Amino acid sequence: MVHLDVPSMHSALMAFFWLDLVLQEDRSMAAEEKSQSSWSAIPLDLAGMVLRLLPGYADRSCFAAVCPQWRCAVRQQQQQLLVPRPVPLLALPDGTFYSLPEGKHHRFPGCGFGGYESVCGSCLVFTRDDGCFLVDPFSRDTVTLPALSCVRLRPPSAAAKRTAEVPYAAGKWSEEERTRFAYPYVTWMHICDSDKLHISKIVLCTPNLAAALVGNGHVSQILMCRPGALSWSVRAYDKCRRFQDMSFYQGKLYILTCDEDLLVVNIGQDLSTGDPQVSRIGRVIKSDPRLSVLFVDNLMICKKHYLVESCGILLMVRRKIWCQLPERGVDKTVARKNEFEVFKADFEHSRWINVTMTMGDDQVLFLGRRCSRAMSMSQYGMPGGQIFFLDDDEKNRVEYDYAEKNTSISVYDMRSGVVLHPRISWKRSDEMCLASWLFPQD
């Protein structure tokens, strides 16, 4: 069950207050005329003034629903980039959506949009036996990708070896004390038949290129395709790794590992089909080998990592989760407080530079396992230097439990280190761990 305390609509009320003042002035100037000024006849620039005071998508939708003229004004303002991006929505897997910052409940007409498996920007990702579908609930546009069962192996001979049950070139299954493990490492050939196979992250890089991290929760592999194509492409014998995040930045695809190595994926084309495929993976930043899981007293530090672009800079965000180790009367590891550090990629010197305290006063980060983004919030009168994050743990990758039965949006203040919890909460469960940010189109 979701609990919500909706604050006052101060920004919206102020917007319409000023709009009413302007219209009153127009009416007084036209007092000699029989006709009065109509709300539907507001000038385009005035509509933009109102929209700039409405950060939430739900409020902008209400503005556009008043009449066709206002709806046209919203469309023109957005197309001409005259108004800033609206704040993202919180999407829950049961089809519930909340519009920030007020936390207003939002419904998309005609469909519930529940049961998605991932999020990609403004799209909800649905996987079925006949394909993978990126559905934009704002515009109702749909991008079709291949089903996970349709994967083209590279080299093509890998398929024949698998059918013939020949030991795989990059590894084979070994049986020892009823435990199966891959030797010398796990490849796509070892996980492709897993019933836990799922999309961890999907990025629509360009209209002709989609990339996905697909795995079993423990490790994953990079798949690529062209939207509308019949199959994905994968390097069958590459080592599967614990990839943390993926981002398309300045025309290149980057992937972050759990060791904080930053990898760049060189993309080629299949000569027979013209479809994209991974041609080479290189490392552009090597992590500090001293960084590892730390134990302090009876606490363990677990880490999550995110990639996000902010003001033209690629950032890595390190989230440290302090966990209480099992002790007398408690038989599980329990997550406690969160801390964050922010680093920018220094490609020239192949290193991460700590910018935690200089991230930018107007920048707010919305972090999620499936979709992250940085936004400027100063135009809305909202403070910067904050991180909005979710407990969106991926299945089979959770190293700890939680003491609370419910979870919620959390906000970390970069200056004070204090974590706040806005009053939007939902029951913690395996199904609801797919809570994500959904970013309306610009």
pLDDT digit string (tens) for the chain, length 442 residues: 444 343 434 444 444 444 454 445 544 554 444 444 566 677 777 777 777 777 777 777 777 777 777 777 777 776 666 677 788 899 988 888 888 877 888 878 766 688 888 999 999 999 999 999 999 988 889 999 999 999 999 998 887 565 444 344 344 444 443 334 566 889 999 999 888 899 999 999 999 999 999 998 889 999 999 999 999 999 999 999 999 999 999 999 999 999 999 999 999 998 888 899 999 999 999 987 665 557 777 888 889 999 999 999 999 999 999 998 887 767 788 888 999 999 999 999 999 999 998 876 788 999 999 999 998 887 777 788 899 999 887 765 677 888 888 888 999 999 889 998 887 888 887 777 788 999 987 5
Kindly state whether residues 57 and 103 are assigned to the same domain: no
How many domains is the chain built from?
A: 3
Cis link prior to 101 (omega < 30° from 0)?
Answer: yes
Within a domain: 168: no
Angle among Cα 263, 265, 270 to the nearest 5 degrees reads 160
Within a domain: 382: yes
Question: Which of 272, 290, 308 is the C-terminal boundary of a domain?
Answer: 290
> Quick one: pLDDT at residue 348?
95
Kindly state whether residues 270 and 299 are assigned to the same domain: no
> Quick one: pLDDT at residue 433?
77
Within a domain: 1: no
Residue identified by tokens 């999309």 is: 199
Kindly state whether residues 99 and 71 are assigned to the same domain: no
Within a domain: 178: no
> Quick one: pLDDT at residue 11?
47
Question: Which of 290, 314, 334 is the C-terminal boundary of a domain?
Answer: 290
Do residues 349 and 363 touch, judged by C-beta distance below 8 A?
no
Within a domain: 166: no
Return left, alpha or beta for 79; rule: phi > 0 is left, psi -120 to 50 is alpha, else beta: alpha
Within a domain: 3: no
Question: Which of 290, 317, 349 is the C-terminal boundary of a domain?
Answer: 290
Burial of 310 (0-12, 13-18, 19+ CB in 10 A): buried
The beta strand positions in 155-272, using DSSP E, are: 171-176, 179-184, 198-206, 209-215, 220-225, 232-235, 243-249, 252-257, 262-269
Domain span including residue 279: 116-156+183-290
Do residues 258 and 244 touch, judged by C-beta distance below 8 A?
yes
Kindly state whether residues 234 and 137 are assigned to the same domain: yes
Kindly state whether residues 278 and 373 are assigned to the same domain: no
Within a domain: 171: no
The CA radius of gyration of the chain, in Å to the nearest whole number, is: 24
> Quick one: pLDDT at residue 317?
97
> Quick one: pLDDT at residue 4?
39
Kindly state whether residues 274 and 365 are assigned to the same domain: no
Kindly state whether residues 131 and 273 are assigned to the same domain: yes
Kindly state whether residues 99 and 125 are assigned to the same domain: no
Indicate the pairing of strand 232-235 with strand 118-120: unpaired
Kindly state whether residues 214 and 353 are assigned to the same domain: no
Kindly state whether residues 240 and 349 are assigned to the same domain: no
Taking the whole predicted model, whether its pTM rises above 0.85 is answered as no
Kindly state whether residues 354 and 243 are assigned to the same domain: no
> Quick one: pLDDT at residue 172?
46
> Quick one: pLDDT at residue 290?
62
Kindly state whether residues 281 and 297 are assigned to the same domain: no
